Amino acid sequence: MEIPFNVFDGAENGLINFSANISPGYNLFSTTLTASGGDSYHFTHVAPADQIPDLNQTLLAQANSAVQFSSLLGYATPGQVAKVQVSTNAGAAWQDVYSQAGAGSFTETVFSPRQVSLAAFAGQTLQFRFNYN
């Protein structure tokens, strides 16, 4: 039986709730730029490869389900896109529920709160990930 639940995660806990599919030698954490707390997840391209942490849990979406996070997209080119993605078929295919492309300049200097509704997926089980493409 699937039951709804909340997942709260901060970078201070390391990858306790996530599995990371990232470039070898890449440090996914930063202590110099944070929205709150002492650490943040830091996505960058050290190699031409996506940086993808996947949530280790399957979620049951409700009508009021949402993903909340803070984001600071520093310097990124238009071809670099920060995404939040969900899968309704055990990771066989992913769909974007949020994306933000770079502008080729520093357009953000502070973290901004983001909220992405998952209401369209109510009643479905989801896998969730971030993808810096």
Of 16, 97, 21, 79, residue with least CA distance to 52: 21
pLDDT of residue 96: 96
The pTM of this model reads 0.74
Domains in the chain with CATH codes: 11-132 (2.60.120.260)
Give the residue, 23 or 120, on which the prediction is more confident.
Answer: 120
What's the gap between Cα 27 and its chain centre?
Answer: 16
Mean pLDDT computed over 56-74: 84
Give the residue, 53 or 133, on which the prediction is more confident.
Answer: 133
Q: Is the pLDDT of residue 12 over 70?
A: no
